[in-house]
A = this chain, B = another copy of it.
């Protein structure tokens, strides 16, 4: 094949490899070339062994040539966030405490990638233990800005075309925000869709898995591959998973109904982001209904915080005891805050979370999706010292709803700004269908050209 192979979507690349017009080795080499050319600045990778990646690629090529089965990601390079265990690569978790940590087994989701024929390209940088303290990764659109976090390397690697796909995790807004900042698609499917076995745990209630890609179809394809029932993850459900690729390709049976909640923290949005969202809403016309947010809804931000801090302490108190000096002030602070939350407060928070789930379940009888900001606006300057505000994601993450960000806006500095759509639980296929419709509607209305 001619041209820049790194511009192929995962679906295009897998199709070309299956039909024999492209080898996985050529594709992987092209992406490795791009990494070599740009990663001195972007710093997306915590671990990369080009020869090992090429060997996987050649193996996928051998399998295809032998006439054996090919998988949905056959020969396609995928980046994996460095809090996800890999049996053949170190897993440092963004912390010096785990320097040299070499898992003996793959996370279940990595098993799924291997069964799909993917090339595990390497490990992408994560903030410290998937929490707040930034990594040194820079935004591929502007090296003076953050890629967002905590899945910093996964978002940056996909935006920079180091890989067509990458896996991340989200406990607050760690898939949606970096995807928005880096101008790529990010999808965190319904809680329990993708197994967390072999993924570093900070919060059993809130930790969830998601993916990054440069097209809607690709992020659907990645999620379809990653999803599986796994009894060793208590959040995993023993039910069929929806088909997201099929959902993204579906026509809507009728023009969808989309809800927007006026939430108090929207006053923290950058002016350009607010204007862009208003333009989206205006463009969609009567399809969007605006609601004042009930105080209860806004309070869920605090419910998220109580659960997160309490569970961080549950999971990381042991690290705090032994390695407090090796942990960041952000992490030590969370663990200390967790210690000031009583069991009653925590259990109250869990109960409120359950009632929120019921509220949302009911809500989706009347609406196909909720529209929301993905982040405060464009990526923050690195000098801000943090990866941005997760508040626009917290209540949806808390409720375990499927969340998708689409790179549809451009901000005041010509940097990408995402728009978030949130769907009904276990109806991620409907969310994809609605998103594909919205994307077509916004493109037809030429949103960014006035």
Contacts and interface: CB of A to CB of B under 8 A. Distances in A.
Interface of A: 63, 67-71, 74, 87, 105-106, 111-112, 114-117, 228-232, 238-243, 426-427, 429-430
A68 B426 contact: yes
Contacts of A229: 111-112, 114-115
Contacts of A228: 111, 115, 228
A63 B426 CA distance: 10
Contacts of A116: 240
Nearest to A117: B240
B230 A69 contact: no
A417 B68 CA distance: 31
Contact of A71 (B68, B112, B117, B240): B240
A69 B115 contact: no
A6 to B, nearest CB: 24
Contacts of A243: 69
A430 B114 CA distance: 22
Nearest to A239: B63
A87 B231 contact: yes
Contacts of A105: 231-232
Nearest to A73: B240
A338 to B, nearest CB: 31
Contacts of A67: 427, 430
Nearest to A72: B240
Given A106-B231, A231-B87, A241 B69 contact: yes
Given A87-B231, A105-B231, A231-B106, A242 B115 contact: no
A68 B114 CA distance: 27
Given A63-B239, A240-B117, A230 B111 contact: yes
B426 A69 contact: yes
12 contacts: A67-B427, A68-B240, A68-B426, A69-B241, A69-B243, A71-B240, A105-B232, A106-B231, A111-B229, A112-B229, A114-B229, A115-B238
Contact of A240 (B74, B87, B429): B74
Given A239-B69, A426-B69, A111 B231 contact: yes
A70 B231 contact: no
Given A68-B426, A69-B243, 19 more contacts: A63-B239, A67-B427, A68-B239, A68-B240, A68-B242, A69-B239, A69-B426, A71-B239, A106-B231, A111-B229, A111-B230, A112-B229, A114-B229, A115-B228, A115-B229, A115-B238, A115-B239, A115-B240, A116-B240
A231 to B, nearest CB: 6
B114 A63 contact: no
Given A68-B427, A426-B69, A63 B240 contact: yes
A427 B429 CA distance: 32
B231 A115 contact: no
